[in-house]
Amino acid sequence: MSEKIINVKGKVREFIKFNIIGISNFLVSQLLYLTLYLGFKLHYIIAYTITSVISITASYILNSKLTFNENNYSFKKFSLSVLIYIFEYLLNMAIIIGLVNLFNISEIIAPIIAPVFSTPPVFFMMRHVIKKNSKG
C-alpha cells in the first residue's frame, strides 16, 4: 500500500513540475507569439506555428531533464514527443480557429485558452514516451 502512495506522490510531483515548465514555456511562447503577430505583423497562424516549433523543442528537453529526470535523450524519444506535440498543436489550432471564427474571441486571447484543454492528455503521453522508452 505504501508503494502505491509513493508512486502516486511521484506522479503528482511530476504533474506539478510538468505544469510549472509548461506555464513558463507558455509565457515565453506567448511573448514570442505576440512579438511575431503584433510586432512583425505575421498572420496569426504563421506566428503560432513558428512559436510552436520552438516551444516543442524546449518542452522536450526541459521535461525530459527536469520533470521526468531523464538525461537519455534520443532521436526516437524526441520524434515521439514531436508527434505528441503535433497532436497538441492540431488540437490547439482547432480550438483557436474555433474560438476566433465561431465565438469571435480575439486572436490574442484564443491561444491563451487552448492549452487548458490539451495539457492533461499531453502530460500522460509525454510521461509514457520519456519514462517507458528510457533506454533509447
Q: What is the pLDDT of residues 12-44, one digit of tens each?
A: 899 899 989 989 998 999 999 999 999 999 999
- pTM for the complete prediction? 0.69
pLDDT at residue 136 above 50? no
Question: Which residues have a Cβ under 8 Å from the Cβ of 26 and sit 6 or more positions away?
Answer: 55, 115
According to the model, what pLDDT value does residue 1 have? Answer: 57
Q: Amino acid identity, residue 21?
A: I
Report pLDDT digits (tens) over 53-72.
899 889 889 999 999 998 88
Cell 499531453 locates to 122
Torsion angles phi and psi, residue 44, rounded to 5: -60, -30
CA distances for 97 relative to 40, 76, 118, angstroms: 21, 31, 15
| Contact status, residue 123 vs residue 15, Cβ threshold 8 Å | yes
Q: Can you give the residue ranges of every domain in the chain?
A: 2-132
Place of cell 507558455: 26
Residue 129 in contact with residue 63, Cβ under 8 Å?
Answer: no
Please write the tens of the pLDDT for every residue from 78-125. Answer: 899 889 988 988 999 999 999 999 999 999 999 889 988 888 888 889
